[in-house]
Amino acid sequence: MERKQLYKDIVERAESVRKLLSMNKSRFSRRIGMKPQSYNNFTGAQGSKPNLELIYGLVNEYKVNPRWLLNGVGEMFYATPPEKTDDNIRSSRQLRKSKKRHIQNRGVV
């Protein structure tokens, strides 16, 4: 398979996840740790190659099966997908803030 088509397929699968979760691009991209503009570079006319940040974010945040994401083989999720609730979003934000404070207190950042 041509690489350009492979990249396009990965981005299409990422968009399938976003649409299944009924999220807009901005909210979805932030949840996977990306700036909305970066995500738009993948999905828009620019057609940027998917990077590790996108792949890791999808696998880590949404439990997307990496084999499915890269090759289209297997189930979309390797675990039950997260619920689309505001409570999950708030708790995820609180966890990130807590981790950031912990790292800052240790003098790492």
Q: Record the tokens describing residue 36, joined without a space.
A: 């909305």
pLDDT above 70: percentage of residues in the chain = 71
The answer to whether residue 86 scores a pLDDT higher than 60 is no
- Amino acid of residue 1: M
The answer to whether residue 81 scores a pLDDT higher than 50 is yes
CA distances in angstroms from 49 to 2, 3, 63, 79, 86, listed in the order given: 13, 9, 21, 26, 31
Q: Record the tokens describing residue 83, joined without a space.
A: 């619920």
Interval 55-68: pLDDT, tens: 999 999 999 999 99
Q: Residue range 80-104: average pLDDT?
A: 56
The answer to whether residue 109 scores a pLDDT higher than 50 is no
pTM beyond 0.85: the answer is no
Interval 4-39: pLDDT, tens: 899 999 999 999 999 999 999 999 999 999 999 999
Average pLDDT, rounded, for the chain: 82
